[in-house]
Structure 1
Amino acid sequence: MATSQHCSHLRSLIQDCIEKHLYTSAAFFADKLVTLSNYEPGDVYLLAQTFFLGRNFRRALKLLNQSKTVERDARFRYLAARCLFECSEWEECLSMLGDSQVPEEIGAGQQEQSLSSPQTWEGSLSVNAAICLLRGRAHLAMENPFSAKKWLKESVIADPNCYEAFAALVDNHLLTSAEERELVSSLKFPEGSRWVELLYRCKCKKYENEYEVESCLSELEAEPSLAGSSQSELRPAHAATGENASFSSKCSDTAEAACTLATNGDVRTCRAEWHYHRGQYQECYAITSGILERDPYHLDCLPVHLASSVLLGKKNELFIRAHRLVNEYPDQAISWFAIGCYHTCAGQHDSAQRYFGKCTSINPRFASGWIAFGNAFAALDEGDKAMSAYRTAARLFPGLHQPILGIGMEYFRMSNLGLAKEMFVQAMAICPKDPLVCNELAVVHYRNGQHQQAEVLLQHALQMVCGAPSPRWEPTIVNLGHVLRKQQRYSEALDCYGTALGLCPRSAGTYAAIGYTFHLMGDLDQAIDNYHKALGLRPDDNFSTDMLSRAMQEDCAEFSRLLLTDTPWQGGT
């Protein structure tokens, strides 16, 4: 019969094997320990853990089910459910956990009674949070996003330090922008975890409250000596009101001195995403390049790095990065997404859609892959396939408005303005602060002859653009010019076209619009001059060619009329 000292020695040896990742050795000694200790519950749990770590899920499950403790100890039940989850038996996993209500937290006394080994959960995450997280992940695997959202929220509320639950909510886009911010505001973070709250806020969608995002990032990046004064320095010159005021008040309550996180990869990634959201793609690329130079395998940074590389036309970087990823991570969706991004940048959309399709087959929960998959089909004018990809994304990611926006764009391309408007309204309900949604809805109003409504939406879109307008928003400014021209407000329309040319000086369409506006004003010389500029940039522009011919005919007719009346010719005036 083994002594208690012998069993204690074995437990220490098993723990050491686990720490050194020698799971076969750990399982060997744990199996003997269980026999020697006459199946002590704590030792049974330890043996099941070694089986689980060695990926012997069925064996661990069998051991736990044979134990009489599995029905009355949440940790036994949780580990059994994890085994079922790893075996892809989602319904059995939920049945093991019990999917009716949030379990009662196990007290310290119960822990000591149920487990006699060192494998207690003291000083760690809440058991409830882990159980709710597993429920949420099981519902996600069963493509039940609404139940998944419920349990993942329960998990992060039960313990705000359960980052996996928060990341699952954000990465799977189960919440809208407003819901994400509301959830973070409701969490009760432990004392000294101010930085966790700030980082959670920065990881939320960035369509609302520009001041809050910038303030959180600045506080995370502040030097330790500035931590106490950062809140007052970051306030805008005007008094904060409403939501900003409540956030500022909450921030001012905690002026914690801490080490700066300015060089942390996650914080730098949030800063890069903020630059990307503001249309500052060069700044975004510079930050992500620095992150990946230091940590080439920072997978969370890769999507925004690849997106900015595509928009900046960096084909060589995309080619090298994609092939490196495929060689080192062939089973990761991001690797094939990178190859698709390279082909997109090269204009090879047929190849791009194949790689985006492989990306989504490897990881169906990769939102960027589905959006890019639909965009590739849209670029090939394959509307049905594009809408199929967008619909799948809309079903999988209910908090993401881009798939619904893409569906609306495809309906608009088919000239089905009624359904297009319905989709844009739905997208706006999910994310009312996205300028692109306002732009697309305004275009529908424009096509329906509702020019005043279109003007209001376009003005609203430009007001929501973060920072100074970038070339990304040149089409919106041009659209506003078209709307003003339709209302015969020619001077205002010309101002918009001039602003658009400042962003994109070589836009043939803008020069054609300026020429047409001058044409309507009767200034044929200016109209002809701008039509020529448009054709110099795009010689095959049929509109400019036809309007130039018409303007020259009208100018010649005016010149002939003046000759017949002996009136001095004023050059089209």
Structure 2
Amino acid sequence: MVGWLLVVMTFVGELLGAHQPLLLHQPPHASPSTTETRSRHPQASLSRSSDTSNWRKAAGTIIPSTPKRPASRQPSPQDYYQSQLIKRSRNRRSEDASDDNNPPADPVRDFAKSFDLLHLSLPSENPSTTNHTPIKQPIEKPSPAAPRYFTRFQKRQEDQKLQEEPLKDKNQDDHEAEQAADNPAEMEKFLREWRQDAVNKHQYDSAIFIGDKLLALTNDPNDAFFLAQIHFSTGQYTRAQAFLDGTGLIQKSAPCKYLYALSQIKQSKYEDALQTLGDESPVIPNPHGLRRRGASRANDEKYEAAMCYLRGLIYTKQGSYDKAKEAYKDAVKIDVKCFEAFDTLMRNNLLSPEEEWQFIEEIDFDSMAASVGGAQGEATAQFLKALYTTRLSKYRNSSKFDDAIAMLSNQYPLADNHDIVLAKAELLYTQCRFEDSLKLVKELLTKDKYNFKLYPVYIACLYELEKKNELFLMSHDLADNHREEAVTFVAIGAYYMLIDRLAEARRFFSKASVMDPSFGPAWIGFAHTFAAEGEHDQAISAYSAAAKLFQGTHLPQMFLGMQHLQLNNITLADEYLQIAWGLCKTDPLLMNELGVVFYHNDHLHEAVKMFLNGIKLAEEIGGDPKTYVQFRTNLGHAYRRLGRYGEAIEEFTHAIRIGGNEANIRCSMGLCCIMEGRTWDAITHLHEALALCPQDPVATELLEQALLKSADEPFHPTYLLPDGRTFNPTDEDFDKLLGEDKMSRNDPRAAATTTPGNSRGHTTAKRNRGQGSARATRRGDHDPSLMDLSESEF
């Protein structure tokens, strides 16, 4: 070990030569500041006297005689080595802090560290000539967190590693730029990629900056159109319009012409936009001609379809709805993939249900098959047609609708797609199956809570089912998060209408209609608020506005007819309902209103036929029976007017059984009984009607007449048994019933007895422990009316 140290010392001595070693010892009389200065700058504190020997003594060591150094000398290699040592050790602290506790062994690194420690621990060669004592610094094993000394050996090792690794050109971007400058095509490619990357990151200022330079280099119409699109995307419609106007490409390029007109529409310059586009749509002679043109001018025809769609928007803003409808239809005929135009036709109900199904057959789906080619083209055409079919009216061709849904669900994984499930929910709603429709919409909302296409059906179902709490929570959530949507205010208006606060509901419906004039539910709800208050004139005005906006749906026309019926304007009501009938012949509610018109016009047989057709259709579509109580009631009134009192009573009874427990129905049954001469039965029904509505003037007057008439008639009432049969007790039956009643009063434990004439064993007894008695009881007994009976007794 000692020999090894001597070899190292000899090597160090030869290496350093006549240069002095580092001063590592501190004189006892040195101040802390002096010591600190010396530790940081070893040569800064040395005396610069002309006496060389004193300077050597101050250094505390013996060195060979050397020529006298000037006052301002250059740093020695030892100084440079020590400064590099300190500098590199500081730079390596962050790297060493993340090293493992047990770094791998490295012979070169260990030798360098041993060399540094050996050099730092060397004692003075002549301690007797110094006036200080050496500081004892124990040699400690450096911890992984301690600074690692970066010696020349390590530097050489790092350089070797860098040489072995593949080098990356630090000036690669500059090299690419220089190469692009030499090749204009490369420069254009470079700028286009940069521009697209900026657009993908929504950094439109960068895209505008690069796009402007690219256009100056290329003068390409495509680059000009792209730059105008960026201006349009940032909402700078005027700048985009001015830019396109300055390029002179409006009449030369169909995309530039389209974007120029769209910028004008965004600025509400509808006349200027229409002048840019032209008044007439391109003529499409036949589908085959369209296909041949599409082979050569596919891109231009796509923009021709888009420009037809813009014409439709302009006509809609100007109130020319017939022209708008034709423009939208032309757009879809030119390009079957112009879904914006097709969706506008369906969503705004510009076509009647019959026109919609006729239009779907006129669309050239074969052009899609020709563009794709082969069997895949045919499959694509069928797929697109099925998708469009799900957007059609649900009042017609339900079988074709079901076939389209089945194909999309079985051949493609679209059974749970939002648009497909929403189409099913809309069909269920038109069939008055509100619970099933609400269930489907809720499933969709759990996956996509703010899909605003779902909310019109969702709000309508909640309103029909009177779910106030759920409607309140939903409208409150929309008001907190999406106040910019018209459906938010429709939801709030529906809630206020459900709790009978019609003034507030009208205000919110009105605001929704102002935000989106093409939103049908807002107009219908606004008109309903007037109808609910009996303001028929305002309701008629609002329904008329909705009928003008949505010409393809029969609902505004039907509501107009209903308002005129309430005003007893039978002629006007008939006109509006006939218009609605021409638009839709598969709505049971419309059939009921038409039957009412026939009834008031004394066309009783036609009324009965219409009511029966409505009931049959309602049963076929599987709607809720409670929704069609009025059908049975109106049919009963028609039978009563025809003198078919038995059938009328049967219809009234059916209406009561399915949930129509109303005073007017029982009053009508009483009237039929009076006409049949069953006075005591009429008295029973009229009493029940007055129990429901004590202030009913018709029931009161009929009851007075029935009581006067019953004074000269024996008491032979007819009772309606729970199974639907009637029971006419005789005097002997009543005597027996009186005896049984007395026995039951004397003996509370008396069992119920079998009612005469009831072969199925229906019993008569007083109510005991909450159990209702049978309805075949004597007059005068304190027995509950039909309204007090439980559901099980029915």
Considering the TM-score relative to the shorter chain, is it more than 0.5? yes
Cα 1:553–1:377 change in 2 (3 A) is same
Cα 1:129–1:463 change in 2 (3 A) is farther
2:349 to 170, 173, 176: 173
What residue is the counterpart of 1:250 in the other structure? none
Alpha-carbon offset, residue 29 of structure 1: 1.2
Give secondary structure in 1 for the equivalent of 2:713.
Answer: helix
1:61 to 241, 257, 267: 241
Unpaired runs of at least 5, structure 1: 112-120, 223-256, 561-566
CA contact (8 A) 2:540 2:560 kept: yes
What residue is the counterpart of 1:292 in the other structure? 445
Q: Confirm or deny that 1:518 pairs with 2:673.
A: yes
One-letter amino acid matched to 1:508: A
CA deviations on 1:40-87 (whole Å, 9 max, x unpaired) are 212111111111111111111111112222102211111111111111
CA distance in 2, matches of 1:211, 1:76: 44
What residue is the counterpart of 2:221 in the other structure? 41
What residue is the counterpart of 1:162 in the other structure? 338
CA distance in 2, matches of 1:531, 1:200: 55
Alpha-carbon offset, residue 533 of structure 1: 2.6
2:537 to 359, 365, 384: 384
Alpha-carbon offset, residue 544 of structure 1: 2.1
2:415 to 262, 266, 285: 262
Equivalent residues in 2 for 1:424-503 (5 A)? 424-465=577-618, 466-469=620-623, 470-503=625-658
CA distance in 1, matches of 2:596, 2:670: 21
CA deviations on 1:506-525 (whole Å, 9 max, x unpaired) are 23322222222222111223
Alpha-carbon offset, residue 488 of structure 1: 0.9
CA distance in 2, matches of 1:463, 1:155: 40
Higher-Rg member (1/2): 2
One-letter amino acid matched to 1:64: L
One-letter amino acid matched to 1:339: I
CA contact (8 A) 1:405 1:437 kept: yes
Give secondary structure in 2 for the equivalent of 1:436.
Answer: helix
1:527 to 652, 658, 682: 682
CA distance in 2, matches of 1:402, 1:14: 51
CA distance in 2, matches of 1:52, 1:6: 26
1:51 to 224, 231, 235: 231
1:538 to 679, 693, 711: 693
CA deviations on 1:14-45 (whole Å, 9 max, x unpaired) are 112222222222112111211222x2212111
CA contact (8 A) 2:315 2:321 kept: yes
CA distance in 1, matches of 2:426, 2:450: 17
> Structure 1 stretch 331-340 or stretch 429-438: which is displaced more?
429-438
> Structure 1 stretch 209-218 or stretch 368-377: which is displaced more?
209-218
What is the TM-score with the length of structure 1 in the denominator? 0.85
What residue is the counterpart of 2:317 in the other structure? 141
CA deviations on 1:419-445 (whole Å, 9 max, x unpaired) are 111111122122233222222122122
Alpha-carbon offset, residue 171 of structure 1: 1.0
CA contact (8 A) 2:626 2:660 kept: no
One-letter amino acid matched to 1:143: G
Give secondary structure in 2 for the equivalent of 1:272.
Answer: helix
CA deviations on 1:293-340 (whole Å, 9 max, x unpaired) are 211111111001000000101111111111111222212110000001
CA distance in 2, matches of 1:187, 1:434: 27
One-letter amino acid matched to 2:394: K
CA deviations on 1:153-186 (whole Å, 9 max, x unpaired) are 1111222222211110011111000001111122
Alpha-carbon offset, residue 100 of structure 1: 1.6
1:86 to 261, 266, 291: 266
CA distance in 2, matches of 1:61, 1:48: 8
CA distance in 1, matches of 2:470, 2:731: 63
CA distance in 2, matches of 1:209, 1:502: 32
Alpha-carbon offset, residue 107 of structure 1: 6.8
One-letter amino acid matched to 2:490: F
CA distance in 1, matches of 2:271, 2:282: 17
Q: Confirm or deny that 1:361 pairs with 2:361.
A: no
CA contact (8 A) 2:527 2:540 kept: yes
CA deviations on 1:121-153 (whole Å, 9 max, x unpaired) are 69xx92232121111112112221101100111
2:458 to 292, 305, 317: 305
CA distance in 1, matches of 2:607, 2:321: 35
What residue is the counterpart of 2:115 in the other structure? none
What is the TM-score with the length of structure 2 in the denominator? 0.62
Q: Confirm or deny that 1:206 pairs with 2:394.
A: yes
Give the length in aligned residue pairs: 520
CA contact (8 A) 2:611 2:635 kept: yes
> Structure 1 stretch 169-178 or stretch 153-162: which is displaced more?
153-162
> Structure 1 stretch 531-540 or stretch 473-482: which is displaced more?
531-540
What residue is the counterpart of 1:226 in the other structure? none
What residue is the counterpart of 1:236 in the other structure? none
Q: Confirm or deny that 1:419 pairs with 2:580.
A: no
One-letter amino acid matched to 2:330: E
CA distance in 1, matches of 2:539, 2:651: 33
CA contact (8 A) 1:70 1:76 kept: yes
Equivalent residues in 2 for 1:210-359 (5 A)? 210-222=398-410, 257-259=411-413, 261-359=414-512
1:375 to 503, 528, 532: 528
CA deviations on 1:503-558 (whole Å, 9 max, x unpaired) are 22423322222222222111223222222332333333322232223222221232
Alpha-carbon offset, residue 391 of structure 1: 1.1
CA distance in 1, matches of 2:549, 2:418: 28
CA contact (8 A) 2:564 2:570 kept: yes
CA contact (8 A) 1:559 1:569 kept: no
CA distance in 2, matches of 1:107, 1:54: 33
Unpaired runs of at least 5, structure 2: 1-180, 285-289, 369-376, 716-729, 735-777, 779-794
Cα 1:107–1:549 change in 2 (3 A) is closer
CA distance in 1, matches of 2:398, 2:732: 56
One-letter amino acid matched to 2:332: V
Alpha-carbon offset, residue 197 of structure 1: 2.1
Give secondary structure in 2 for the equivalent of 1:126.
Answer: helix
CA contact (8 A) 1:478 1:497 kept: yes
CA contact (8 A) 2:315 2:323 kept: yes
Give secondary structure in 1 for the equivalent of 2:390.
Answer: helix
CA distance in 2, matches of 1:502, 1:273: 29
CA distance in 2, matches of 1:536, 1:320: 38
Give secondary structure in 1 for the equivalent of 2:432.
Answer: coil
Cα 1:322–1:484 change in 2 (3 A) is same
CA distance in 1, matches of 2:653, 2:731: 32
CA distance in 2, matches of 1:472, 1:400: 21
One-letter amino acid matched to 1:47: L
CA distance in 2, matches of 1:174, 1:126: 23
One-letter amino acid matched to 1:258: Y
Cα 1:42–1:202 change in 2 (3 A) is closer
CA deviations on 1:211-242 (whole Å, 9 max, x unpaired) are 223333333333xxxxxxxxxxxxxxxxxxxx
CA distance in 2, matches of 1:216, 1:542: 55
One-letter amino acid matched to 1:467: I
CA distance in 2, matches of 1:468, 1:545: 38
> Structure 1 stretch 429-438 or stretch 278-287: which is displaced more?
429-438
Q: Confirm or deny that 1:151 pairs with 2:327.
A: yes
CA distance in 2, matches of 1:519, 1:214: 50
Between Structure 1 and Structure 2, the one with more helix by share is 1
What residue is the counterpart of 2:192 in the other structure? 11
